[in-house]
Amino acid sequence: MKNINIEKSAYINQNANVFVVNDNAKLMAMGAEPEPAYVYSQSNNSEIVCFEERAQIYGDSSEVIYENPAEFTPTTNNKFVTFAENTIICPGNKSVNCAFGNGAIFYTGYELLKGQELTHKTNSYNDYKFLENSICFSSGSDSTIYTSPSNYCVINAKLITTGNYSRIDDYSPASNNIILSMGDKNRVGSKGCRALLSTGDNVYARIENAALSEKVNYLVEKQEIICLGKESRVSTDNKSIVVVKEDMEWVKVGIKSILAVITMINDRPDILLFYTENEENEYPANIADAQKINSGWYYKLNENKELVKVNNPNYQP
C-alpha cells in the first residue's frame, strides 16, 4: 500500500475505511456498521460507486503524503458516483463525478493538506498542476459544488446542478469553468467562470473575475451569463454579455458589457440591448441614450420597457 497519512488531511474523514490503490479498479464501496464507506482512492482510471448515506469519496494518487504542495497529483480519469443523501466527493483530474442524492457536497481541486497553499514566489501558477477538465453533476436539492479558492487552481471544469436550493461556489480565479444551474432558488458565485446558464426561478448569481486582482496569468477575457428564470438577480463586475428576462428582480453588469433583456413588445418576443461604459467613460457609437447604463448600478425593467435604478437591491434567497 502507498504511504497514507490521514492525519495530515484537511478533508479525508479520520474514519476512512476503504482504500483503493490499484489502477483501473471497479468497486462498489460499502462501509461497516454503523459507518458508511469513506473511500480514499489513489487509483487512476477507476470506477467507484456508493449507495450509502453519508458516503465519502476522495481522489489523490500521490505516492506519499508530501511536504511540497507542488507534488500534489490528483487521480485521473475516474468515475465517482453516489446515490444516497449527504455524500461528499472530492473529484480527481479529468474525471466524471455524479451525486444523485440530496445534500451532496463536492470539494473540487482541494489538495487535501492542512495549512499549505499553492503560492509561488513569482505569484504565478504556471509551475503547478491544474485540476482540469472534470465534470461535477448533482441532481439532488440542497447540494453544494465548491472549487478551491484563489491559492489553488481548477480550470475548464463543468459544474452542473439540477436540484433546488443548491449552491455553486466557483472560488478559483480565471477558472474558465462552465456552470449550469437548473433548479429554483439556487445561488451561484464564481471568481472567473467562462459561462453560466441558469434556467431556474429566483436564482442569485454573482459573477466576478478575480484574475484581474490576483495576477493570475490565465485570464478569462469575457464572461457570458444567461439567466432565463423568473425574478433572477445577476451581478457581474467584468467585461461580460448578460441575458435576462424582463421579470428579473435586478441586474448589475460590469464595465464594457452588453445587457440583453428578453421581453414582449406588441405581442411579439423582442430583445432590448443596453451597454455600459469603458475605462474612459465612453460608450459605443451610434446607440441611443436610453441604451446607455452605468456599470455598478442595479437595474430593473419598468412597465414602459425602460431600465430604472434599484437603490436597495435584495440579496436574500
Res 117 pLDDT > 90: no
pLDDT band at 175; cut points 50, 70, 90? confident
Res 122 pLDDT > 60: no
Of the candidates 271, 233, 226, the residue with the CA atom closest to the CA atom of residue 251? 233
Q: Cβ distance 254 to 237 under 8 Å? A: yes
CA 243 – CA 262 distance, rounded (Å): 7
Average pLDDT of span 277-293: 94
pLDDT band at 83; cut points 50, 70, 90? very high
Position 140 scores a pLDDT of 96
DSSP H or E segment with residue 300:
strand 299-301
Res 112 pLDDT > 50: no
Average pLDDT of span 56-84: 72
Query: Cell 429554483 identifies what position?
Result: 184
Position 34 scores a pLDDT of 85
pLDDT band at 102; cut points 50, 70, 90? very high
CA 264 – CA 270 distance, rounded (Å): 6
Position 314 scores a pLDDT of 80
Higher per-residue confidence, 316 vs 148 = 148
The cell for 272 is: 432590448
Q: Cβ distance 231 to 247 under 8 Å? A: yes
Position 141 scores a pLDDT of 98
Position 47 scores a pLDDT of 95
Ranking 48-52, 116-120, 199-203, 213-217 by mean pLDDT, the lowest is 116-120
Q: Name every residue whose Cβ is closer than 8 Å to that of residue 152 and which is 6 or more positions away in sequence.
A: 109, 110, 111, 117, 118, 172
CA 179 – CA 170 distance, rounded (Å): 9
Res 69 pLDDT > 90: no
pTM of the predicted model as reported, rounded to 2 decimal places:
0.90
Higher per-residue confidence, 74 vs 163 = 163
Q: Cβ distance 113 to 9 under 8 Å? A: yes
**Alpha-carbon distances of 112 from 135, 192, 315, rounded to whole Å:** 19, 22, 32
Ranking 76-80, 210-214, 265-269, 272-276 by mean pLDDT, the lowest is 210-214
Greatest mean pLDDT range, 2-6, 10-14, 50-54, 169-173: 50-54
Higher per-residue confidence, 153 vs 245 = 245
Position 61 scores a pLDDT of 54
pLDDT band at 113; cut points 50, 70, 90? very low
pLDDT band at 150; cut points 50, 70, 90? low
Of the candidates 172, 145, 141, the residue with the CA atom closest to the CA atom of residue 91? 145
- pLDDT per position as a tens digit, 202-239: 999 999 987 655 555 566 888 999 999 999 999 998 89
Res 260 pLDDT > 60: yes
